[in-house]
A = this chain, B = another copy of it.
C-alpha cells in the first residue's frame, strides 16, 4: 500500500424526505444563490421542496447551467454573486450544476486575474464562497469530493480543478429525486460511476486489500443493480444503492494509497469538447480502448477483476475482462465505438496534440502521450 492522506469533511444527509433538512443545514441569515440546470427540478417536485425548506431565507436563483457546465454561463453567475453579495451557494441538480457551482464559488473570490487560470494554471486559491447541494443525479461523485470539470465553448476545452475549499458543506441525497431520470440519464450515471472505480483500480497491484475489495464491491453493485434500475425506475432501494455507490466511487476512499489512471476521463473530455458527446458516452467508448492498449501493464489487475467480478479464470482472462466490461456498457444501451456515434478519425491528430501542448502524460506509468492517445483512439474506432 502506498502512503496516503485521507480527509473528507462533507456531511452526507441521505434518504427519503431529506430535502426538508435544508432549513437546518444552510447557515442562518445567509444570502443564497440557488443554482440549477435546464429546469427538470421544476417538473419532478424538487424545486418546490427546496423553496419550501428555504422559505425563511433570502434566495436568488440562477438557472440554466448546462450539462458540461460552460465557463461563459458560470461567469454570469459570478457577476451575480459579486453584485448581490452572495454568501452561500446551493446547487440543486446533478454533477454538472454542482461542478459549475464549485467553479462559481472560487471564481467569485478570485482577484488575481482571469478566472480561467483556475483551470489552466497552478494558481493559488485563497478563498471560496461556501456551498452545499441537493443532488438529483448519481454519477459524478462531486457531492463528496473537491473536484469539478468545466468546459469553455469558445476554445472547445474541458478541464478540471480541485481544491479543499470546494468540498460541499453538506450534500443532500434523496433517492426519490432520481425516480424521474430517463433510462439515458440513468445509464450515463451508472457508466460514469463504474469508470471512476475502474480508473482507481485497474492499474497494478500494491496489496491494498481494503481499496481493492471496496472497489470490487462497488463494481459488483453497479453490474447487479444497474439493469434493475432501468427496468424498475421507481424502486427506492435500487435507486438508493446506485446513488450511494456513485458517491462512494469518487469520495477518495477507494483511491487511498493506490496508483490511479485517469486516461479514460482525459481522452473522453476531448471527445465531449469537440463533439458534444455526453460525458458517460465518451467513457464507454474510451475505456475499452485504454484497457486494450495498456493490457500488458494492467494484466495482473485485469485478471483479478475477471476472477472476482466476472467469475472468469483462464489464460485469456485479461481479454475477457475487457470484453465483459464492454458488454456491460452495451447492456445499458451504450454505444461503445466512435463510428456508432458518427465520429471518425478527423480530429485524432488535434486531440492527441493537445496533450503534447499541455505537457500532459497519462496513465499510472505516465506512459501515454500524443502517440499513444492516437493509438487508443484508433482502438475505439469500430
CA distance A225 to B12 in the complex (A): 32
Do A14 and B256 touch across chains, with their CB atoms under 8 A apart? Answer: yes
Do B245 and A210 touch across chains, with their CB atoms under 8 A apart? Answer: yes
Do A12 and B3 touch across chains, with their CB atoms under 8 A apart? Answer: no
CA distance A2 to B15 in the complex (A): 7
Q: Which residues 1-60 of A sit at the B interface, judged by CB distance below 8 A?
A: 1-18
Given the known A-B contacts A241-B210, A248-B210, are A14 and B257 also in contact in the complex, defined by CB atoms under 8 Å? Answer: yes
* Inter-chain pairs besides A1-B15, A5-B14, 4 sampled, C-beta below 8 Å: A1-B241, A7-B9, A7-B11, A253-B253
Given the known A-B contacts A240-B1, A241-B1, are A7 and B10 also in contact in the complex, defined by CB atoms under 8 Å? Answer: yes
Do B12 and A244 touch across chains, with their CB atoms under 8 A apart? Answer: no
Q: How many copies of this chain does the complex contain? A: 2
Q: Does A207 contact B (CB under 8 A)?
A: yes
* Secondary structure of the A contact surface, majority rule: mixed
Contacts of A1 in B (CB 8 A): 14-15, 237, 240-241, 244
Interface residues on chain A, number (Cβ under 8 Å): 40
Do A14 and B10 touch across chains, with their CB atoms under 8 A apart? Answer: no
CA distance A8 to B9 in the complex (A): 6
Do B4 and A257 touch across chains, with their CB atoms under 8 A apart? Answer: no
Given the known A-B contacts A213-B217, A216-B217, are A241 and B12 also in contact in the complex, defined by CB atoms under 8 Å? Answer: no
- The chain B residue sitting closest to A170, CB to CB, is B7
Given the known A-B contacts A5-B11, A9-B9, are A217 and B210 also in contact in the complex, defined by CB atoms under 8 Å? Answer: yes
- The chain B residue sitting closest to A217, CB to CB, is B213
Contacts of A7 in B (CB 8 A): 9-12
CA distance A13 to B2 in the complex (A): 11
CA distance A7 to B11 in the complex (A): 4
Given the known A-B contacts A4-B15, A14-B4, A257-B15, are A221 and B210 also in contact in the complex, defined by CB atoms under 8 Å? Answer: yes
7 contacts between A and B (CB under 8 A): A5-B14, A14-B256, A208-B241, A210-B221, A210-B244, A213-B217, A253-B253
Contacts of A216 in B (CB 8 A): 217
CA distance A15 to B15 in the complex (A): 35
- The chain B residue sitting closest to A225, CB to CB, is B209
Contacts of A17 in B (CB 8 A): 3
Contacts of A220 in B (CB 8 A): 213
Q: Does A78 contact B (CB under 8 A)?
A: no
Contacts of A225 in B (CB 8 A): 209
- The chain B residue sitting closest to A221, CB to CB, is B209
Q: Does A214 contact B (CB under 8 A)?
A: yes
A-B interface, 5 closest residue pairs, ranked by CB to CB distance from nearest: A3-B15, A213-B217, A7-B11, A207-B237, A6-B12
